[in-house]
Structures are given as structure tokens and as C-alpha cells.
């Protein structure tokens, strides 16, 4: 058996992997935004005009309703986080491998590698929302909203989906 070394890498692998693993990435509704109230309105079945405020909920509650569905209120599940992770898992895994390799071989920081991974997933979530998540909206809802994107109404939910990287155990 013949062994050849293609390139010399002078690193402390255990240390570099430890640095990478010392960070955690979070993608989801920004904590501050999750507490904001979102006002929903009722609409006339006759002419579609706004009637009154029907209820106030937080953006965190809106996100959970869409992510998991609310059968009692006839709102189907339109998972924008879990399903994106499942659908795009091969791409995400490949990106993680690439970023770890880049961080190990270069002088780039471990935090930067985790940020790139986190932002890539955020972009995949946003692209999926903009592409439209099944099931499609009813014709009445499309007419009222003026478009057929299921998770875009006021864009408050879309805009509150963020990516954040912290040292593990850090609260900021």
C-alpha cells in the first residue's frame, strides 16, 4: 500500500472542532418579535370588507399556529422551519461539512463557520416561504389578501424570522 500526503495542514484538529462545537445557531422567530402583538381582523362574507378586530395574538403564537396548524380554527399546518429542514437536509449537511472543512483548513473563525451555516438555513426558510408552502390558500383568502402566498400577509412574520449564533450557555 502506498500513502501520499497531498497537502500539509498544521492544525490542532481537536481544538478547532472544540471551538466550532462551542457555538450554537438558532433560526426562528426573534425573541423580541415573538412577544409583539399582531392584530387580526374579521372580514364581511358579503363584501370582504374589514369589520372589527377579532383577536390579538403574538407573532410567536402566529408562527406556532402556522408551523403546527390549528385544526379547531381550520388552519392547516404550513411548516416553514421543520419541513424546510427535512426537505433541504442533504444540502444543509453538505454545507455543514464544507464550513467545518473551511474552518479547519483556514484561519477563519469557528463562529464565522457557524454563522454561514445558520444564514444558509435562514435563506432556505425564506426562499421556501416565498415559493409558497402547501396547502394552497382558499380562493376567498387569495381574493382578500390580493396574492396567493400562504405565510405572507403583513410580512411581520416573515421579517421576524432571524438567524443568531451564540457561545453555548450564553443568553445573548
Supply the pTM of this predicted model: 0.78
Exposure pattern of 3-36 as b/e (b: 16+ CB <10 Å)? eeeeeeeeeeeeebeebbeebebebbbbeebbee
Please check whether residue 51 is in contact with residue 43, taking contact to mean a CB–CB distance below 8 angstroms: yes
Q: What is the pLDDT of residue 166?
A: 94
Q: What is the pLDDT of residue 23?
A: 96
Q: What is the pLDDT of residue 85?
A: 97
- Residue in this structure with the C-alpha cell 424570522, named with its chain if needed: 161
Q: What is the pLDDT of residue 42?
A: 59
Q: What is the pLDDT of residue 125?
A: 97
Residues 6+ away with beta carbon under 8 Å from 33? 59, 60, 156, 159, 160, 162
Could you give the CA distance from residue 39 to residue 24 in angstroms, rounded to a whole number? 33
- pLDDT per residue of the chain (172 residues) written in tens, 0 to 9: 666 656 655 567 788 888 999 999 999 998 888 888 766 655 666 666 665 555 678 889 889 999 999 998 888 999 999 999 999 999 999 999 999 999 888 878 899 999 999 999 999 999 999 998 888 877 887 787 777 777 777 777 888 899 999 999 886 5
Task: Give the start-to-end residue ranges of the domains of the chain.
Answer: 13-32+79-167
Amino acid at each position: 500500500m502506498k500513502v501520499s500526503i497531498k497537502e500539509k495542514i498544521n492544525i490542532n484538529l481537536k481544538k478547532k472542532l472544540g471551538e466550532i462545537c462551542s457555538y450554537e445557531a438558532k433560526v426562528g422567530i426573534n425573541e423580541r418579535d415573538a412577544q409583539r402583538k399582531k392584530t387580526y381582523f374579521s372580514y364581511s362574507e358579503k363584501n370582504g370588507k374589514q369589520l372589527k378586530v377579532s383577536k390579538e395574538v403574538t407573532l410567536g403564537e402566529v408562527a406556532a399556529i402556522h408551523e403546527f396548524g390549528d385544526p379547531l380554527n381550520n388552519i392547516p399546518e404550513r411548516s416553514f422551519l421543520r419541513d424546510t429542514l427535512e426537505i433541504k437536509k442533504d444540502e444543509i449537511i453538505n454545507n455543514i461539512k464544507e464550513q467545518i472543512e473551511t474552518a479547519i483548513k483556514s484561519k477563519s473563525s469557528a463562529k464565522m463557520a457557524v454563522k454561514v451555516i445558520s444564514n444558509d438555513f435562514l435563506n432556505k426558510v425564506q426562499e421556501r416561504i416565498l415559493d409558497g408552502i402547501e396547502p394552497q390558500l382558499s380562493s376567498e383568502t387569495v381574493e382578500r389578501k390580493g396574492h396567493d402566498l400562504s405565510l405572507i400577509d403583513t410580512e411581520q412574520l416573515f421579517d421576524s424570522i432571524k438567524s443568531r449564533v451564540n457561545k453555548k450557555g450564553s443568553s445573548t
